[in-house]
A and B are shown apart, each in its own frame.
Chain A
Amino acid sequence: MPSVVLEVRNLSKRFGGLTAVSGLDFDVREGEILGVIGPNGAGKSTTFNIIAGAYPASGGDVRFAGESILGLPPHKIAARGVMRTFQHNRPFAGMSVADNVLVGAHTRFGFNVFGKKSLLDEKANRARAEELMEFVGLGELRQADVATLSFGQGRLLEIARGLAGEPRLMLFDEPAAGLTPAELTRVSGVIRGIAERGIAVLLIEHDMHFLLPLAHRVVVLNFGAKIADGLPEEVRSNPAVTDAYLGSHAAAR
């Protein structure tokens, strides 16, 4: 069985009197696509932001490759091998697509800016960025200004930029949001390809039609707590899930 990359243990987050996440447990393994779903306000984004280091947790632990990453600033979490995408694309304006991808490789450079070592680093990372742009399907646009990309291409850029950091875990924040059906197919294919490379994938998503065919395993949240955990087909037929997700009316149908 592939080794566990991410362990979330008894994770809790309170905003004042509101409990956004309570006692949450799950694992993500190498090469596995884990989907976290739930209706709006279920605590998906809060969980995501705690793992990525944007929010502190109120309790519990997040362990990556056996070590706790809870409380580390985002740049240190990235340096350990956890990269992410943003739901609303955040490209670096005024830079080419290739340079945007190279920012993702930031932690793969030695400290030196001058000298032969740094030139070799630059060359190696550029070659890898080229590969990644081909992999996500932006090969033709490598020299384009990011401002000229469509929303869907921007999402692919987010993915390539994250991969440039050579992550062991990729976090996707609602990767389906705002995409056309053709772009959804493309992004699904890319995410499958990432998992095939042995990278652990954690997806936060509320679009079940996108997520269920893609995920290997699904965790369902409602009101900050886990209500189901299993294979997509198990989750799909779980009455508690349809109840929470679609309302009891849909479950009865």
Chain B
Amino acid sequence: MRSLAAFVALSGAAFLMGDYHNDVYRKMLLWITLALSYNFLFGICGQVAFSHFAFYGIGAYSVVILLFQLHVPLPVAIVLGVAVCILVALAVAIPATRLEGFYLALATLALAQLFVVVLNEGGAVTGGTGGIANYRLPAVFGLQIKGAWYTGVIVALLLGTYALLRRLDHSWFGRACRAVRDNPEAAAAMGVDVARTKVVAFALTSALAGMAGMVYAFVDNTVNPPIFGLENAFLLLFMVIVGGAGRHAGAVIGAALLFMLPFFLSPLVGHHHVLVFGVLVVAAILLKPKGLIGFYDAIRRS
């Protein structure tokens, strides 16, 4: 019931906005969705991975290539797109988690870079540096979903992602992830298969990022390499750290804040808002390691 109310309120808001604000609004919703799944991977499971935004791109490109280059029907394209994300995630995570944590960061950094190279060099399949544009979401049951209605799809994705991650977090799996993050040796002594827990969490959150990417592909109806560059992988990390790693509410606050901040900072500092982000992240790490949500908790307690 509460989720239905949230769905109506969050998607209803889109109908009250003009085209520009609706565009900003749904990109913010997508960032929040990504931050939620990245928070599970980084904040809850403690895996320092830089591939999350690349999986967003893999999802987006997969669905576009499947639909418009290979002419696969939409439901099949969605299933195959998720399968691609899971397969790539397993190919990265299984060898990387056998090594120490640092190597996961390196392997995922390499994946993120390689992905952009593949996009640029992909020729007719990926559309090269120009990417793929001027396509349209196929009609679903004869209906063309567009404008504010498509925002409803994004809201459903966000709420679905949140519900899934929350459920997982409150289950034995979520506890195992936190145990693996805090003390892998003690987790193993309690019967937790550390490597498998890491791989499952990585594949699952990467698939969620891929699904968000699929939805994103029809927001601007264009996919191109610069959108999926490495700087966004770091922005995602900043969002989770500033908001408060390990907390769903932290991911939401961090994503909304860092996404909206440039809109307010640009008139003041131009393109130097990245500098402000840097200061913010360093300040968060040094002064408030639990992020804004930890700050909120401290105020509420006192």
A and B interact:
yes
Chain A residues in contact with chain B, CB under 8 A?
Answer: 52, 54, 73-75, 78-79, 83-84, 86, 90, 92-95, 99, 102-107, 109, 113-114, 118, 121-122, 161-162, 165
Residues of B contacting A92 with CB < 8 Å? 178-179, 182-183, 186-187
Bound together, the chains give a CA A79 to CA B190 distance in angstroms of 8
Residue B189 at the A interface, CB < 8 A? yes
Q: Which chain A residues lie closer than 8 Å to B167 at the CB level?
A: 113-114
Chain B residues with CB under 8 Å of A79's CB are 191
Q: How far is the CA of A106 from the CA of B188 in the complex (A)?
A: 10
Which chain A residue has the least Cβ–Cβ distance from B246?
A94
CB < 8 Å neighbour of A78 from B175, B191, B246: B191
Nearest chain B CB to A154 CB, angstrom units: 12
A93-B172 in contact (CB<8A): no
Let me know if A165 and B186 touch, CB within 8 A.
no
Q: In the complex the two chains form, is B189's CB within 8 Å of A83's CB?
A: yes
Chain B residues with Cβ under 8 A from A122's Cβ? 171-172
Task: Say yes or no: A75 contacts B182, CB within 8 Å.
Answer: no
With A94-B246, A107-B191 in contact, do A99 and B186 touch (Cβ < 8 Å)?
A: no
Q: Smallest CB–CB gap between A164 and chain B, Å?
A: 8
Residue B231, interface by CB 8 Å: no
Which 7 A-B residue pairings sit nearest by Cβ, starting from the closest?
A78-B191, A107-B191, A90-B186, A109-B172, A74-B188, A92-B182, A113-B171
Is B192 engaged at the interface, CB distance under 8 Å to the other chain? yes
Is A95's CB under 8 angstroms from B189's CB? Answer: no
Interface band, chain B: 20 to 34
Residues of B within 8 A of A (CB): 167-168, 171-173, 175-176, 178-179, 182-183, 185-194, 246
B170 to A: closest C-beta gap in Å? 8
Contacts of A102 in B (CB 8 A): 172, 175
Nearest residue, chain B, Cβ from A86: B186
Partner of B187, one of A94, A103, A105: A103
- Measured between beta carbons, the chain A residues less than 8 angstroms from B173 are 113
Does B189 contact A103, Cβ atoms closer than 8 Å? no
Query: Across the interface, which residues of B come within 8 angstroms of A84, CB to CB?
Result: 189
Nearest CB of B to A238, in Å:
33
Please give, as numbers and ranges, the residues of chain B lying within 8 Å of A107 by CB-CB distance. 190-191
A71 to B: closest C-beta gap in Å = 15
Cross-chain pairs A/B with CB under 8 angstroms, 28 sampled: A74-B185, A75-B189, A75-B190, A78-B190, A79-B191, A86-B186, A86-B189, A92-B178, A92-B182, A92-B183, A92-B186, A93-B183, A95-B175, A95-B178, A102-B172, A103-B175, A103-B190, A103-B192, A104-B190, A105-B172, A106-B172, A106-B176, A106-B192, A107-B190, A113-B167, A113-B168, A113-B173, A118-B172
Q: How far is the CB of B166 from chain A (nearest CB, A)?
A: 12
B43 CB → nearest A CB, Å: 10
B194 and A75 within 8 A (CB): yes
CB B299 to nearest CB in A, in angstroms, measures: 18
Q: Is the CB of A94 within 8 A of B182?
A: yes
Residue of A with least CB distance to B175: A103
A165 to B179, CA, bound (A): 15
